[in-house]
Amino acid sequence: MRILTSRTRALIGFAALGVWWGAFGAALPAIQANADAGDAELGLGLLLLGLGALVSMRATGVLMDRAGPAVTPVAIGLFGLTGLLPALADSPGELYLFLLVVGATSGSMDVAINADAVHEEVASGRPLLNLAHAGFSAAVFFASLLTGLLRSLGAEPLAVFALVSALVVTAAVATRLGPVRPWRPAEGETPRLIQGVPGWLLALGLLGAMAFWIESAWQNWGAVHLERAFDAGAGTSALAPALFAGAMAVGRLMAHRLASPGSERTVLVAAAALTASGSALAAFAGSAPVALVGILVAGAGCAVCAPTIISIAGRAAKPRERATLVGSLTTLMYLGFLVGPAAVGGLAELTTLRASLGSVAAVALLLMLLFTVVRFPAPTRG
C-alpha cells in the first residue's frame, strides 16, 4: 500500500537524517566522555566521520543514475542500522572506527535523499530543496531538545541512539512504500565512478564546503562550547544545536516561500554576512544566553547556503547524470564537514575553544566575498 506522495517521500528522508544529527550534536559531550576522548581526539573522530561520507557519496550518485530511486530506502536503512554505533564507543579507537562507518552510511543517505529532492524539484517545476532542508533542520531542533531532556533525566547515549536508530529504520520502510516519479534519463553514456567534473561544479563545491564548515562547527561544538565556557548543564547545552537547527529551519522555510528565481546570489551574500556576525557573537559572548543568541543568528544565516547551492547544481545538470553530479557536489561540500569540526578541535587544543570558534566567523566573511564574484551555471532544459 502506497501512503505517501512523491513529494512527501522526498521529504521524509531529510527528517530522518535530521533526527539522528540532532541527537548526535546534543549527546556529543556524553559520547566524548564515554570514549575518554580529548578535544583533539574528538576532532579526529569527526574528521573520520566526514571521511567516511566522502568515500560513499559519488558512488551512491552513480548507482542512483543507473538503478534509480530504489536505492534511497536501502541507504536510509543502512544508516539506521549503523547509527547506534557511536553510543557503543568506550575508547578513542572505537570512536574512530564507528564514526568512520557511520560517516559512510550517512553520506550515502545524504546523496540519495538530495538526488530524490532534485529530481522531484525539476520534474514538478516547484521549489523543494529549501523546504526539504528545512525539514532536516526542524528534525535536528526537536531531536536536540528531546536528547537534552533525556540526558537531564539520566538517559545514557545507548538508550537515546537505540530510539533514534529505530526511527530511521522506520523511515526507510516508509520511503519504500511511497511512490516516486519515474526517472527517465536522456540517452547517452552513463556516468562512471571515476571521471572529471565541470569547473562550475568545483566552484559550487568550494562554496558549499565553506558553508558546511560553518554549519558542522556549530552543530558539533555548540553544546561543548556552552558546557566548557559557561559550565552549562546538559539541558542548557543541548539548546546550542537545537537553536541553531531551529533557526536554520525557519530561514529555509522563509527562503522557500519568499525567494524568487534569479535571486540566489543576493540571498547567499546576505546569508553569509548574517552567519559571520552571529558566529562572532557566539564565540566571544560573555554569557550563555548571549552565546545562544549568536548561535541562533548564525543558524539563520547559514540556513539557505547548502540547499540553494544544491538546487543551482541540480538544475544545471543533465538528466542522465543528475544524481552523479549531486553526489560529486556533496562530496566536495563534505570536505568542509570533514575539515571544519576537526580544525575547530585542533585549534582549540593549541589555543582556546573560544578562539577556535571565532575563526568560523572569518570563514563566513570569506564566503560572503566569494558569493559576490563566483559565476553560477545556467539551468539545463529537460
Domains of the chain: which residue ranges? 6-180+198-373
Q: Is the pLDDT of residue 111 over 60?
A: yes
pLDDT of residue 141: 81
pLDDT of residue 266: 87
- Which of residues 27 and 381 earns the better pLDDT score? 27
Q: What percent of the chain has pLDDT over 90?
A: 36
Q: Using alpha carbons, select from 206, 176, 168, 191 the residue that is nearest to residue 83.
A: 168
- Which of residues 245 and 373 earns the better pLDDT score? 373
Q: Is the pLDDT of residue 190 over 70?
A: no
Average pLDDT over residues 284-310: 91
Q: Is the pLDDT of residue 173 over 50?
A: yes
Tell me which residue has cell 525557519: 250
Ranges 20-29, 273-282, 315-324, most confident? 273-282
Pick the range with the lowest mean pLDDT from 23-37, 76-90, 148-162, 257-271: 257-271
Q: What is the CATH number of domain 6-180+198-373?
A: 1.20.1250.20
The residue type found at 62 is V
Local structure of 230: helix, strand or coil? helix
Packing angle of the helix pair 6-34, 129-152 (nearest 10 deg) = 40
Average pLDDT over residues 276-297: 93
Query: Over the stretch 54-75, which tens digit does the pLDDT of each residue have?
Result: 889 888 988 888 877 889 999 9
Q: Is the pLDDT of residue 97 over 80?
A: yes
What's the pLDDT band for 351 if we cut at 50, 70, 90?
Answer: confident
What's the pLDDT band for 1 if we cut at 50, 70, 90?
Answer: very low
Q: Is the pLDDT of residue 194 over 80?
A: no
What's the pLDDT band for 35 if we cut at 50, 70, 90?
Answer: very high
| DSSP3 helix / strand / coil % (the chain, rounded to 5) | 80, 0, 20
Set of cell numbers at residue 229: 565556557
Task: Please say whether the beta carbons of 151 and 143 come within 8 A.
Answer: no
| 16, 122, 185, 186 from 381: Cα distances, Å | 32, 9, 12, 11
pLDDT of residue 244: 87
Query: Over the stretch 126-163, which tens digit does the pLDDT of each residue have?
Result: 888 888 888 888 898 889 889 988 988 888 899 999 99
Mean model confidence pLDDT for the chain: 86
